[in-house]
Amino acid sequence: MEALQTPYFVIDEAILQRYYDMLADSLKQNWNNYLIGYSFKTNSLPWLVSFVKKNGAYAEVVSEDEYSLARYLGYENSEIIYNGPYKGEHSFRDVLLAGGYVNLDSRMELSWLRKLAEEYPKRNFEVGIRANFNLEKMCPGETTMGEVSGRFGFCYETGKLEEALKTLSEIPNVSVTGLHLHSSSKSRSVAIFRSIARMACQLKEEFHLKLSYVDLGGGYCGGMEGRPEYPDYFPVVAEELSKSFTPSETKLIVEPGISLISKCTTFVTSIFDTRDIKGTRYVMTDGSRFNIDATMIKSSHLFHVIKNESYEGSRPLLKEQIISGFTCMECDRLFTYTDSPELIPGDKIIYENVGGYTMSLNPLFIQYFPAVYIRRDGKLIQVRRKWTPADYVQGSEREFL
Ligand SMILES: *Cc1c(COP(=O)(O)O)cnc(C)c1O
């Protein structure tokens, strides 16, 4: 096979399917009334969004643009789970009118809802509400927000959640039938989800809620050595939820993102140059830190090297080689390759576990979006070609060019 031009992402379809099925099976076995809402923000590659749709997932979206993408790719309004602080009023109404899921996040949304309910006095609107609660207290050291509060939803501890529930109870044709409890954690541990499920029970009891769904959000591990997998979470979640809920009355919603797509996704890059500057070896690659670590938080990566077979020279062990990207930013350094054979032009570095928060965070910086292939039956099939200047200029007003 002719070598493909790097850099490019590859999604292994069979592995993706395996993870999707693992999730669905675990939910079915433990809480046989469930819904999977795929988190668009984690990776909204159109092929991927269509793949999960074919498997029965709804679209979990957090902006009007994401909502519009879901609609563009064939999701009905009733197949949307609408979350986050930045919804659009138009789409908010469309989803509610169609019986999709809306999890309220702000006071502004309360007023949108009141207006909608008044306009349609004969309709009954069912909504969910996002609770902001002190998960750090339940799982010390594990959450992303730590001791300071999270930014999303209505805060339980300060009484804002109760206040919002009261406001909603005063609208005659609105009922709160869902709780949304997504919380991001560093640990992604089973204990985090046990605590979130406990919180669902506590809120239900304290506020006498009648819930048709509990939405645990995303934040699971998947495909990481030594870390939990889907089947580890849901027996524990079910055990906790059973204390206050039954599957016949209450649906369990999950919103996986990274856990579904990490294991199946790789990023293939090539080395095009090496250089020594004041005793430091820089290895220049055609992939950038912006492709796989746009938020600049990683210091190590899972990867493997495929050596350039046509090179016959020796490869002395080098103490440090700084693997860098193609951009003209000094910070575009991916990792330091230590005590390893010398890398040379034509070698490939293939990064693993790069499905989440990579493609969707790629900038159009210096080089345009790389191609994406899927691996199906051992063959690579292109599902997105590399972007060209024509793609880049498409939103520009022609008359000013
Ligand atoms: C980010 C997010 C998810 C997905 O999180 P992962 O860590 O990718 O699983 C799900 N739900 C909401 C509301 C989110 O903000």
Q: What is the pLDDT of residues 208-260, one digit of tens each?
A: 999 999 999 999 999 999 999 999 999 999 999 999 999 999 999 999 999 99
204: pLDDT strictly greater than 90 = yes
Q: Check: CB of residue 299 under 8 Å from CB of residue 335.
A: yes
pLDDT of residue 173: 98
The closest residue, in CA terms, to atom 2 on ligand 1 is 218
pLDDT of residue 3: 82
Residue to mutate, 19, 36, 42, 213, ligand 1, most ligand atoms under 8 Å from C-beta? 42
Q: Check: CB of residue 223 under 8 Å from CB of residue 262.
A: yes
Cα-to-centroid distance, 238 and ligand 1 (Å): 20
Cα-to-centroid distance, 144 and ligand 1 (Å): 13
pLDDT of residue 165: 98
| 136-145, 229-238, 385-394: segment of lowest average pLDDT | 136-145
Q: What is the mean pLDDT of the chain?
A: 97
Give the number of other CB atoms < 10 A from CB of residue 49.
21
Residues 27, 121: Cα–Cα separation, whole Å: 37
Cα-to-centroid distance, 28 and ligand 1 (Å): 21
pLDDT of residue 268: 98
68: pLDDT strictly greater than 80 = yes
Q: Given the CA of residue 256, which atom of ligand 1 is nearest to it?
A: 9
Cα-to-centroid distance, 105 and ligand 1 (Å): 15
SS3 143: strand
Cα-to-centroid distance, 35 and ligand 1 (Å): 15
Q: Which two tokens stand for residue 272?
A: 């095009």
* Angle CA 183–60–247, to nearest 5: 75
Residues 246, 79: Cα–Cα separation, whole Å: 23
Q: Which residues line ligand 1 (CB under 6 A)?
A: 39, 41-42, 60, 62, 83, 182, 217-220, 255-259, 356
Residue to mutate, 20, 35, 39, ligand 1, most ligand atoms under 8 Å from C-beta? 39
Provide DSSP, 258-324: HHHHSTTEEEEEEEEEEEEETTEEEEEESS-HHHH-TT---S---EEEE--TT--S---EEEEEEEE
DSSP tag of 233: H
Q: Given the CA of residue 41, which atom of ligand 1 is nearest to it?
A: 1
Q: Given the CA of residue 42, which atom of ligand 1 is nearest to it?
A: 8
Percent pLDDT > 70 in the chain is 100
Mean pLDDT along residues 91-109: 98
Cα-to-centroid distance, 287 and ligand 1 (Å): 26
The amino acid that residue 243 corresponds to is K
The amino acid that residue 149 corresponds to is S
Q: How confident is the model at residue 147 (pLDDT cuts 50, 70, 90)?
A: confident
Alpha helices in 31-73 (DSSP H): 46-54, 64-72
Cα-to-centroid distance, 61 and ligand 1 (Å): 10
Q: Given the CA of residue 180, which atom of ligand 1 is nearest to it?
A: 13
Q: Given the CA of residue 130, which atom of ligand 1 is nearest to it?
A: 13
The closest residue, in CA terms, to atom 5 on ligand 1 is 218
SS3 39: strand
Contacts of residue 312, defined as CB under 8 A and 6 or more positions apart, other chains included, come to none
- 102: closest CA among 205, 43, 180? 180
Mean pLDDT along residues 5-26: 98
pLDDT of residue 2: 58
Q: Given the CA of residue 83, which atom of ligand 1 is nearest to it?
A: 13
Q: Could you check whether the bond before residue 140 is cis, i.e. omega within 30 degrees of 0?
A: no
Per-residue pLDDT tens over the stretch 322-358: 999 999 999 999 999 999 999 999 999 999 999 999 9
Cα-to-centroid distance, 19 and ligand 1 (Å): 17
Q: Is the pTM of this model over 0.85?
A: yes
Mean pLDDT along residues 1-27: 94
The closest residue, in CA terms, to atom 10 on ligand 1 is 218
Q: How confident is the model at residue 145 (pLDDT cuts 50, 70, 90)?
A: confident
The closest residue, in CA terms, to atom 8 on ligand 1 is 257
Cα-to-centroid distance, 52 and ligand 1 (Å): 15
Q: Given the CA of residue 357, which atom of ligand 1 is nearest to it?
A: 8
Cα-to-centroid distance, 217 and ligand 1 (Å): 6
pLDDT of residue 149: 87
pLDDT of residue 125: 98
Q: How confident is the model at residue 122 (pLDDT cuts 50, 70, 90)?
A: very high
pLDDT of residue 299: 84
Cα-to-centroid distance, 152 and ligand 1 (Å): 12
Q: Check: CB of residue 353 under 8 Å from CB of residue 36.
A: no
Residues 117, 146: Cα–Cα separation, whole Å: 38
Q: Check: CB of residue 178 under 8 Å from CB of residue 35.
A: no
